[in-house]
Each structure stands twice: as structure tokens, then as C-alpha cells.
Amino acid sequence: ETGVTQTPRHLVMGMTNKKSLKCEQHLGHNAMYWYKQSAKKPLELMFVYNFKEQTENNSVPSRFSPECPNSSHLFLHLHTLQPEDSALYLCASSLEGSTGELFFGEGSRLTVL
Amino acid sequence: GENVEQHPSTLSVQEGDSAVIKCTYSDSASNYFPWYKQELGKGPQLIIDIRSNVGEKKDQRIAVTLNKTAKHFSLHITETQPEDSAVYFCAASLGGADGLTFGKGTHLIIQP
């Protein structure tokens, strides 16, 4: 148990569906992240929320939209995805001003048909 | 921006032998270098890190070395055990978690 919980663990969706990934952290951290993990590629940072302010990677398509209602919860809303979006989506949290360690959840495995 | 190269992509060693994974980085201003271990079905977990003001750090069977001049750092695992089998990622940043650039990962296989 890392203190970062992601649901669902597995998701299969069609290209016209709308779904959401959820992340919750119980560590008292104030920064949360979405990473995309594809085979044989580096972990790709998608979005960062520091003190509820969002910073994003400009290369992330608009079919991914994050939401951070408070410092403990983070969502990734998905709509009209493409098959190449199939990947493991990892949520992480950290405490700003600390060592810089990221605490990852176990990920949500997404398959787009 | 920062670019991190990691080698090898796959490493197979006999149980009890040592394993070494190497990374290079491009931004000389980077000063924080963590290593993460990802077991099957789990998220990455920090195992050791080093900052640019030291050249080596050890934690039991794991050590990390840093050469700032050459801009490379390495992970050393001695007396490898079956539970060391996993994917290992190196990363570099200017100190903050939100600036981490990761390598592509090394799949370490421990042969019995």
C-alpha cells in the first residue's frame, strides 16, 4: 500500500466513450501528477497540480482533461480517445519543498478499441 | 530541456552476481538523480537517490554513483536476489519532483 489509490485498475473503452480515471492520496501531499507509461518509452508527464494550480505538458491532446477538486483527489477525464492512447496511466503525489520523491499509485491500464 | 538516456534496456544476471545500470543526462544544471523500481503490476517506487553534492551513496546492497563532469550516473546492485527482478528507471531534475525526466527503463532479470 503506497498511500496512492487509483481506480479503476483496468478499463476498456471504445473511441466514442467518455470515462474517467480517479486517484486519491492519503499522504497529506500537496502536489499530484498524471503520467502515461507506454512500452519501451520513458514515463511521460501529462499534468501537474501544485497547490491546485495546473501545469500541463503542451503535447497532451485535448481529449485528456484533468480535474483536481482538492489536494487529495485527482481525475483524468477521457473522451473520444484513439487506440494509440492505450497505456498504463499512473497517478503520483509529492510534498512540495521535500526531497522530491514521487509516490506512485499502481496505475490504471487503459485499452481503447 | 533535459534528456536522459538509460542502458541497457534488458539485463540478465545470475543470482548472486552484481548488476549495473547506467544513465546519462544532458542538462548540466540537473542536481537530483533518483532511481525507481517497478515490479510487475505495481507503480514505480523510489529505491535510492543522489544529489549533485555527493559522488556516491549506498544503502545495503544498492549503491548509486554520480560523475558530474561526464554527466552520468549508475545504479549498482550487489549479491542479486530473485526479488530484484523488476524494471528500473533513472531520472534527473533540477531538484523538484515536477521536473523529473525519466529514462526508458531497464528490465533486470535475475536467473536462478
Task: Measure Cα distances from B5 to A1, A27, A72, A106 in Å.
Answer: 30, 31, 33, 25
d(CA B80, CA B15): 5
Range B48-75 average pLDDT: 95
Q: What is the pLDDT of residues B68-110, one digit of tens each?
A: 999 999 999 999 999 999 999 999 998 777 789 999 999 999 9
Q: Which residue has the cell 473503452?
A: A13
Among A7, A9, A29, A37, the residue to mutate for chain B (most B Cβ within 10 A): A37
Strand partners, B12: B109
Contacts of A99 in chain B (CB under 8 A): 49
Residue of chain A whose Cα is closest to the Cα of B50: A99
Among B48, B98, B106, B107, the residue to mutate for chain A (most A Cβ within 10 A): B98
Answer for the pair A32, A45: CB distance below 8 angstroms, yes or no. no
Residue A41 is predicted with a pLDDT of 86
Residue B54 is predicted with a pLDDT of 86
Please name the member of A40, A42, A106 whose beta carbon is closest to the beta carbon of B102.
Answer: A42
d(CA A107, CA A101): 17
Range A71-82 average pLDDT: 94
Residue B73 is predicted with a pLDDT of 97
Q: What is the pLDDT of residues B30-51, one digit of tens each?
A: 999 999 999 999 999 999 999 9
pLDDT exceeds cutoff 80 at A3: yes
d(CA A13, CA B103): 29
d(CA A82, CA A17): 11
Label residue B6 by pLDDT band (50, 70, 90): very high
